[in-house]
Amino acid sequence: MAPTAPAPPTAAAPVRRLTVLYDAECSLCTHVRDWLLRQPRLVPLEPVPAGSDEARRRFPGLDHSATLDEVTAVGDAGQVYRGAAAWIVVLWALREHRRLAHRLSTPTGARLARGVVLAAAKWRGAQRRWGGQGYRRAGIDGGGAKRLGEGRRSGDGWVYEPRLGWRYTGPGCDDGTCASR
C-alpha cells in the first residue's frame, strides 16, 4: 500500500516499491513513462501524474508544483528522490539498467546524470515556450502541436510529418517551397 505522506527517510529502509511522479502533459515525460512500463523491473514502479488529485491524496506533504518541474520518485518507506537522484533510483529499479544506476551513483556518474536531467529540463522549457499556452491545454501535446493522424500541426503554420520532419505550411507556402525547420 502506498504511503499517505512521505515519511522521513531512514538509511536502513529498503526500497521495495517506487511511485514516479511525472508531468502528464509533457510529451517527453509521457514517452519515458511508457518506456519505463515496458521495462523488466526488479522493483515495482508506479507512474502517477505529478500534481494530480491522486498524487496530492497519496503525498500531501510534497510540494506538488515542484514535482511538475522536476521528476520525483517516492519510495514505499517515504524516501523522496528528485532530479538526477530520481532518475538514478528509477534506473536502479529496472533489471537491465541497475548496473548503469550504480555507475551513475558515483561522483563522476552523478555529474553525467545531472547533465542528462538538465538537458531534458532545457528541452521541456523550449517545448513550453514554443507551445506557448498550449502546453497545458487539453488536446495539445507537450510540443504545442495538435495531433493530425500521424503528423502534428502547431497553431502557427508548422507541421510535423514523421518521414519529413517539421515544415512550414503557413500563408504563402501553398506551393510547398517554404524552408523546413
52: left (phi over 0), alpha (psi -120 to 50) or beta: beta
Domains in the chain: boundaries = 18-115, 144-181
- 18-115: CATH, from 1.10.760, 3.40.50, 3.40.30, 3.30.460: 3.40.30
Whole-prediction pTM value?
Answer: 0.63
Pairing of strands 18-22, 45-49: parallel
| 163 close to 152: Cβ distance less than 8 angstroms | no
Q: How confident is the model at residue 157 (pLDDT cuts 50, 70, 90)?
A: low
Across residues 54-67, what is the average pLDDT?
93
The per-residue pLDDT for 5 is: 46
| Stretch 120-147: mean pLDDT | 52
Place of cell 507541421: 159
Question: Is 78 in contact with 7 (CB distance < 8 Å)?
Answer: yes
What integer pLDDT is reported at residue 26 of this predicted model?
83
Overall average pLDDT of the 158-180 stretch:
59
Q: Are 158 and 181 in contact, with CB atoms under 8 Å apart?
A: yes
Burial (CB count <10 Å: 0-12, 13-18, 19+), residue 119? exposed
For helices 27-38 and 107-131, angle between their N-to-C axes, nearest 10 degrees? 130
